[in-house]
Homo-oligomer: A and B are copies of this chain.
């Protein structure tokens, strides 16, 4: 193993000089600098990152705290992760995986053991028990998702309120006057999951603003519940012509269940989903959707953390604007009328 001392000897300078060339923490004459660089190259020196004089200095490693709960959207997570590693490498950093079920103790372990310079915490909820700890920790962190109060933290998230609103606006623009909302299982709302609550709030507020009738229902993750929910919705609101779905499990069944309730998609009922793009594309008919921007979140999260590590103070909350991709499930009104005329 070639050490900094070997380089120093080879270049005819002191070890500390080599160190300074590496870190750039003090000015070195162009001459010595190039001589040292040369020696580094010819000897094939690689800094022994693990041991940087211990006390000060960074490790170049970011802890990525993954949620391992069941029912996570695996492809979405993987997208986030790969975007995060790629971005981290651009900042000359690496990612250390940590499971969320290590929970608070795992965070503390990693923080104190000086393994990492900071944390990326995925899937943060409204009143996440890791949040108080993160505030105390001396290491900076960036949360994906945001708790009830983001004070003193840095968070990135999709703007779920705007997402809910965007769905309504899209549908209202198409002329729909009565819109339903199928949300997550009630347990998710009880857990006070940020994305679920915020989306529904955004949906309701936008419905008020646009003066359209709105009915929201929480729905469980099984086929029967979805069927019951759609039937109830159709019975209670016969005039309902559009549905916003924020429940990935329900997506696969929704078209069939609506049909079983006497409604065709998109002929009788237009559907907008809030879900990963690929999921929306797989449905038949493909669903208009507001996408969950995994890659952007990963990129921004790492960039924000890197900024913090450089002593900058990014804003506490970065909300990504929702983007809606229009697909077959929300056709133009003219088209719908023609179809309706054809079929009835």
Contact = CB atoms under 8 A, between A and B. Distances in A.
Interface string A100-142: 0010000011101111000000000000000000000000000
Interface string A42-56: 000011111110100
Given A49-B114, A66-B82, A102 B75 contact: no
A251 to B, nearest CB: 12
A267 B68 CA distance: 41
Contact of A79 (B46, B54, B74, B102): B74
A112 B108 CA distance: 28
A94 interface: yes
A78 interface: yes
Nearest to A63: B94
A59 interface: yes
A186 interface: no
Contacts of A89: 99, 102
A85 B113 contact: no
Interface residues of A, number: 38
Contact of A50 (B54, B64, B98): B54
Contacts of A79: 74
B114 A48 contact: yes
A81 interface: yes
Given A46-B113, A48-B54, A68 B86 contact: yes
Contacts of A108: 46
B85 A66 contact: yes
A96 B61 contact: yes
A50 B102 CA distance: 20
User: What is the copy number of this chain in the assembly?
Assistant: 2
A324 interface: no
Contacts of A113: 46-50
A256 to B, nearest CB: 11
Nearest to A75: B74
Contacts of A74: 74-75, 78-79
Nearest to A113: B49
A77 interface: yes
Contacts of A59: 50
Nearest to A50: B114
A68 B46 CA distance: 25
A97 interface: yes
A240 interface: no
Nearest to A48: B114
A64 to B, nearest CB: 8
Q: Among the interface residues A1, A54, A85, which one has the most CB atoms of the partner chain B within 10 A?
A: A85
Contacts of A48: 54, 112-114
Contacts of A61: 96, 115
A250 interface: no
Contacts of A96: 61, 94-97
Nearest to A138: B1
Of A52, A75, A86, most buried by chain B (CB within 10 Å of CB) is A75
22 contacts: A1-B112, A46-B108, A46-B109, A47-B113, A48-B114, A50-B51, A50-B114, A61-B115, A64-B97, A66-B82, A66-B85, A68-B86, A74-B75, A74-B79, A75-B75, A77-B78, A78-B78, A85-B99, A94-B98, A94-B115, A96-B96, A97-B97
